[in-house]
A and B are shown apart, each in its own frame.
Chain A
Amino acid sequence: MNTRNLLTTLFLLACVAQEAAALVRMGAGNVEVHARGPAGLRITGKSTEVSLVEDSSVLLFKAAIAPLDTGIGLRNRHLREALEADRFPEATLSVKRADLRFPGDGTSVEGETQGELTLHGQSHPVAVRYRAERKDDLTHIAGSLRLDLRDFAVVTPSYLGVAVSPEVEVDLDLAVEGL
């Protein structure tokens, strides 16, 4: 093997290693977005399209915007329009591994940390409460955070005189192997 071939082989191996480091974990999960409106109105959008991309330093949670279902078709459309789902099809939450505690087998941990939420093309730090439990190589992660839609340049949805509050809560639930 000449030097040129050796360098090519090393480069390819490095690429493969890099790809392996960014491990995509698709597990059973769901995300719920809770909004409130006047006179006690509660709106919950739900989706099961949640995934976790993991590398050596960061956990990146991804949730697709378009599948969020609020139970009413027209309201789903208004939600997609408000979040411009065509332009920004997913929201991501990035959390540094170093800021998290990981459970051993048969144990659970919980805590609060800082993550970076990207929504509607805007990124801002958010406080994230989380709980993780590991059993038989399956890690169950539950996280929640609050955000203000105005911070993400989202025009607060309003329909026929009923406007939702810009403060929104997000709950995320995901079970993945390993971690």
Chain B
Amino acid sequence: MRTAAGLLVALLSGAASAYPTMIRHGYTQCATCHVDPSGGTLLTEYGRAQSELLLSTRWGSASEEEPGPSSRFLFGAVRTPDSTILGGWLRNGYIWNSVGGKLVDQRLLQMRADLAAAFRAGPLRAAAEVGYATASSAAYSELASITRNANGANLVSREHWIGLGLADDAVLLRAGRIQLPFGLRNIEHTSFVRTATRTDINQDQQDGVALSFVGAGWRAEAMAIVGNYSLHPDAFRERGASAFVEIAPSSQVAFGLSALATRADATLENAGPTLRQCYGVTARAAPWTPLVISAEVDALIGTALGRGATSAGHAGWLQADLEVARGLHVLSAVESQKAPGESATSTGLWGGLAWFVVPHLDVRGDVIRRSTPGSPATATFLLQLNGYL
């Protein structure tokens, strides 16, 4: 039952915009469309244009037509200077959870309400987000909290960093709270691969220093992790390093390697110091423009330091994204997970529809069924409405 409850709260929060499936349009890298060179979060002006041209239903607009001013911040009502990028997310949803075929929970979700800004001047780069998270979304936002209201709403900041862009923005050195460079930066932030590796883009960012490189056909980022300073007490903060490299032999195929190793003085499961290691391989491919296959397999290793007790596990994800009409996607995925120290392997099946109705607005419906030997199966139905300012 505890597992089932964990699965329920795991779906209580929204995600940042991150679409590794843009590889179908030849975008193997992320930095031309996103402020973060490894993807997700704020869109650049070029990214906003691609959002209208490539993601959204075009409603009769010719494919060669310029995107309208409505794709810009606040539908073009406010013109920002070239040095500044503004954006924001408002995501709400409704969730139904069942355990063993019985509906046990249904509720309206406030998933994300964030404002974000990025600034550049010469080589200087900076970006920050601030948002509002209700108590009901705490389970998947509290690690990004910047206020301490134990049973109520909190302000959150999922990322805030300052850095230097070098070599025509092929290199970015930055410090602050940053998304961990590991695995697929997929929007399904509750997938096993994201939760098991603690790289959920909704709240698992860490404070540290990161160096990213983007070249023609490859990208890489490495980060020295100094801990999540939204987390208290200090003993629970993980310190170490995370890195990934992805190579794209063609504009429709990319392969990646990821590694993460962190040490914490204590964890919820282990009162003593613990070393956590994750090693992953990823692949993205668009064998046919409407179809993108994404996969990630991670090895998970946990070590109770001082006692020499090491246990291993794994997490896997295989997703197919079929764009049946411009802006309309049929999604399906299979996943599995065996946490270190546990004997049972959990499996999950995802099915869903996502529709990018117009620039700034998408709707998505998912059905997720998860099962673990010895526990009743859980099923989740989730409807989401996502607005991007």
Q: Do A and B assemble together?
A: yes
Are B251 and A161 in contact, CB atoms less than 8 angstroms apart? no
Chain B residues with CB under 8 Å of A41's CB are 27, 29, 31-32
Contacts A72-B53, A74-B53, A76-B64; A38 near B168 (Cβ below 8 A): yes
Are B251 and A42 in contact, CB atoms less than 8 angstroms apart? yes
Chain A residues with CB under 8 Å of B27's CB are 41
Is B65 among interface residues, defined by CB-CB distance under 8 A?
yes
B170 CB → nearest A CB, Å: 6
Which residue of chain A lies nearest to B49 when distances are taken between CB atoms in the complex?
A160
Which residue of chain A lies nearest to B213 when distances are taken between CB atoms in the complex?
A40
Selected contact of A42 from candidates B26, B63, B65, B169, CB within 8 Å: B26
Are B216 and A40 in contact, CB atoms less than 8 angstroms apart? yes
Are B64 and A40 in contact, CB atoms less than 8 angstroms apart? no
Are B32 and A43 in contact, CB atoms less than 8 angstroms apart? no
Selected contact of B169 from candidates A38, A72, A160, CB within 8 Å: A38
Selected contact of B64 from candidates A37, A43, A74, CB within 8 Å: A74
Are A42 and B28 in contact, CB atoms less than 8 angstroms apart? yes
Is B219 among interface residues, defined by CB-CB distance under 8 A?
yes
Is A62 among interface residues, defined by CB-CB distance under 8 A?
no
Chain A contact-residue range equals 10 to 19
Is B282 among interface residues, defined by CB-CB distance under 8 A?
no
Is B46 among interface residues, defined by CB-CB distance under 8 A?
yes
B219 CB → nearest A CB, Å: 6
Contacts A71-B25, A74-B65; A162 near B251 (Cβ below 8 A): no
Chain B residues with CB under 8 Å of A72's CB are 25, 53-54, 63
Is A44 among interface residues, defined by CB-CB distance under 8 A?
yes
With A and B bound together, what is the CA distance between A144 and B26 in angstroms? 21
With A and B bound together, what is the CA distance between A20 and B225 in angstroms? 72
Chain A residues with CB under 8 Å of B62's CB are 73
Q: Which of B59-96 contact A (CB under 8 A)?
A: 62-67, 82
Chain B contact-residue range equals 20 to 34
Is A98 among interface residues, defined by CB-CB distance under 8 A?
no
Are B170 and A38 in contact, CB atoms less than 8 angstroms apart? yes
Are B44 and A161 in contact, CB atoms less than 8 angstroms apart? yes
Is A10 among interface residues, defined by CB-CB distance under 8 A?
no
Q: Which of B190-230 contact A (CB under 8 A)?
A: 214-219
Which residue of chain B lies nearest to A159 when distances are taken between CB atoms in the complex?
B46
Chain B residues with CB under 8 Å of A159's CB are 46, 49
Most chain A Cβ neighbours within 10 Å, of B32, B54, B169: B32
Chain B residues with CB under 8 Å of A38's CB are 31-32, 168-170
Is B45 among interface residues, defined by CB-CB distance under 8 A?
yes
Chain B residues with CB under 8 Å of A40's CB are 28-29, 31-32, 170, 214-219
With A and B bound together, what is the CA distance between A43 and B46 in angstroms? 14
A170 CB → nearest B CB, Å: 16
Is A39 among interface residues, defined by CB-CB distance under 8 A?
yes
Is B313 among interface residues, defined by CB-CB distance under 8 A?
no
With A and B bound together, what is the CA distance between A96 and B53 in angstroms? 44
Q: Which of A87-101 contact B (CB under 8 A)?
A: none
Are B66 and A74 in contact, CB atoms less than 8 angstroms apart? yes
B72 CB → nearest A CB, Å: 10
Contacts A39-B29, A43-B26, A160-B49; A74 near B63 (Cβ below 8 A): yes
Chain A residues with CB under 8 Å of B169's CB are 38-39
Are A36 and B251 in contact, CB atoms less than 8 angstroms apart? no
Which residue of chain A lies nearest to B26 when distances are taken between CB atoms in the complex?
A71
Is B181 among interface residues, defined by CB-CB distance under 8 A?
no
For this complex, 24 residue pairs linking A to B, each with C-beta atoms less than 8 Å apart, are A38-B168, A39-B29, A39-B37, A39-B168, A40-B28, A40-B31, A40-B170, A40-B217, A40-B218, A41-B31, A42-B216, A42-B251, A44-B251, A71-B25, A72-B53, A72-B54, A74-B53, A74-B63, A74-B65, A159-B49, A160-B44, A160-B49, A161-B44, A161-B45
A contact residues vs B (CB 8 Å cutoff)? 36-44, 71-74, 76-77, 159-162
Closest 7 CB pairs of A and B: A73-B63, A39-B31, A40-B214, A40-B29, A77-B64, A160-B46, A73-B64
